[in-house]
Amino acid sequence: MTQITKEQVERIADLVHLAVTDEEVAMYQEQLQSVINFANQLSELNTDDVKPTTHVLHEGNVLREDVPKQTITQEEALKNAPDQKDGYFKVPPILE
Amino acid sequence: MSLYGYTIKELENKLKKKEISAAELTEMSLDRIKECEEDVQAFITVDEEGARTQAAKLDELDESERQPLFAIPQAMKDNIVTKGIRTTAGSQILTNFNDPLYDATVVEKLQDAQSVMIGKANLDEFGMGSSTEKSSFHITRNPWNYDYVPGGSSGGSAAAVASGQVMFSLGSDTGGSIRQPAAFCGVVGMKPTYGLVSRYGLISLASSLDHVGPITQTVEDNARVLEVIAGNDSRDSTSANTQVPLYSEGLKEGIKGLKIAVPEEYLGEGVSEEVRESVLNALQMLELLGATWEKISVPHSTYAASAYYIISAAESSTSLARYDGVRFGARAKDAKTVEDMFKQSRSQGFGDEAKLRMMLGTFALSAGNVDTYFKKAQKVRTRIIEEFETIFSQYDLVIGPTTPRHAYKIGEIVDPVTSYANDILTIPSNLAGLPSISVPCGFTDEGLPLGLQIIGKHFDEQTVYQAAYAYEQATNHHKKRPVMGGQ
Question: CA of B344 to nearest chain A CA: how many angstroms apart?
Answer: 7
Domains and CATH numbers, chain B: 8-258+458-479 (3.90.1300.10), 302-379 (no CATH)
CB of A80 within 8 Å of a chain B CB? The answer is: yes
In this predicted model, what pLDDT tens digit does every residue of B78-106 receive, in sequence order?
999 999 999 999 999 999 999 999 999 99
In this predicted model, what pLDDT tens digit does every residue of B111-146 receive, in sequence order?
999 999 999 999 999 999 999 999 999 999 999 999
CB of A46 within 8 Å of a chain B CB? The answer is: no
Residues with Cβ within 8 Å of B472's Cβ and at least 6 positions away in sequence, in order, are B188, B218, B219, B439, B440, B478
CB of B487 within 8 Å of a chain A CB? The answer is: no
CB of A72 within 8 Å of a chain B CB? The answer is: yes
- Grade residue A85 by pLDDT with cuts at 50, 70 and 90: very high
Q: Which pLDDT score is estimated for B445?
A: 95
In this predicted model, what pLDDT tens digit does every residue of B149-173 receive, in sequence order?
999 999 999 999 999 999 999 999 9
Cα distance between residue B351 and residue B127, in whole Å: 12
Answer yes or no: do B379 and A47 touch at CB < 8 A.
yes
CB of A58 within 8 Å of a chain B CB? The answer is: no
Residues with Cβ within 8 Å of B443's Cβ and at least 6 positions away in sequence, in order, are B186, B449, B450, B477, B480
CB of A13 within 8 Å of a chain B CB? The answer is: yes
pTM of the complete model beyond 0.90 = yes
- Grade residue B486 by pLDDT with cuts at 50, 70 and 90: very low
Catalytic residues of B: 77, 153, 177
CB of A45 within 8 Å of a chain B CB? The answer is: yes
Question: CA of A4 to nearest chain B CA: how many angstroms apart?
Answer: 10
In this predicted model, what pLDDT tens digit does every residue of B423-443 receive, in sequence order?
999 999 999 999 999 999 999
CA separation, residue B90 to residues A24, B93, B299 (Å): 22, 9, 36
The count of CB pairs under 8 A between chains A and B is: 174
CB of A8 within 8 Å of a chain B CB? The answer is: yes
Nearest in space to B48 (alpha carbons), one of B19, B68, B82, B73:
B73
Nearest in space to B286 (alpha carbons), one of B398, B404, B450, B403:
B398
Residue numbers in B near A10 (CB within 8 A) = none
Question: CA of B454 to nearest chain A CA: how many angstroms apart?
Answer: 20
Cα distance between residue A26 and residue B45, in whole Å: 36
Residue numbers in B near A16 (CB within 8 A) = 317, 346, 355, 358-359, 362
Q: Which pLDDT score is estimated for B414?
A: 84
Cα distance between residue B386 and residue B398, in whole Å: 14
Answer yes or no: do B416 and A34 touch at CB < 8 A.
yes
Q: Is the pLDDT of residue B329 over 50?
A: yes
- Grade residue B1 by pLDDT with cuts at 50, 70 and 90: confident
In this predicted model, what pLDDT tens digit does every residue of B24-66 receive, in sequence order?
999 999 999 999 999 999 999 999 999 999 999 999 999 999 9
In this predicted model, what pLDDT tens digit does every residue of B354-388 receive, in sequence order?
999 999 999 999 999 999 999 999 999 999 999 99
Interface of B with A in 217-236 (CB under 8 A): 234
Tell me B372's DSSP state: I
Q: Is the pLDDT of residue B295 over 80?
A: yes
Query: How does the average pLDDT of chain B come out, rounded?
Result: 96
Q: Which pLDDT score is estimated for B487?
A: 38
Cα distance between residue B68 and residue B71, in whole Å: 9
CA angle, residues B88, B34, B53, in degrees to nearest 5: 70
Q: What value does the mean pLDDT take over residues B183-191?
A: 98
Q: What value does the mean pLDDT take over residues B302-315?
A: 96
- Give the mutation candidate from A57, A67, A85, A89 for the B interface (greatest B CB count, under 10 A): A57
Answer yes or no: do A52 and B237 touch at CB < 8 A.
no
Answer yes or no: do B327 and A41 touch at CB < 8 A.
no
Cα distance between residue A51 and residue A77, in whole Å: 41
- Grade residue A80 by pLDDT with cuts at 50, 70 and 90: very high
Q: Is the pLDDT of residue B485 over 60?
A: no
Q: Which pLDDT score is estimated for B421?
A: 86
Cα distance between residue B11 and residue B30, in whole Å: 17
Domains and CATH numbers, chain A: 6-43 (1.10.20.60)
Q: What value does the mean pLDDT take over residues B302-309?
A: 94
First CA to last CA distance, chain A: 42
CA angle, residues B228, B231, B236, in degrees to nearest 5: 125
Q: Is the pLDDT of residue A1 over 80?
A: no
Residue numbers in A near B234 (CB within 8 A) = 62, 64
In this predicted model, what pLDDT tens digit does every residue of B209-266 receive, in sequence order?
999 999 999 999 999 999 999 999 999 999 999 999 999 999 999 999 999 999 999 9
Answer yes or no: do B382 and A50 touch at CB < 8 A.
yes
Residues across chain B: 487
* Beta-strand relationship, B43-46 and B116-121: antiparallel
Q: Is the pLDDT of residue A37 over 60?
A: yes
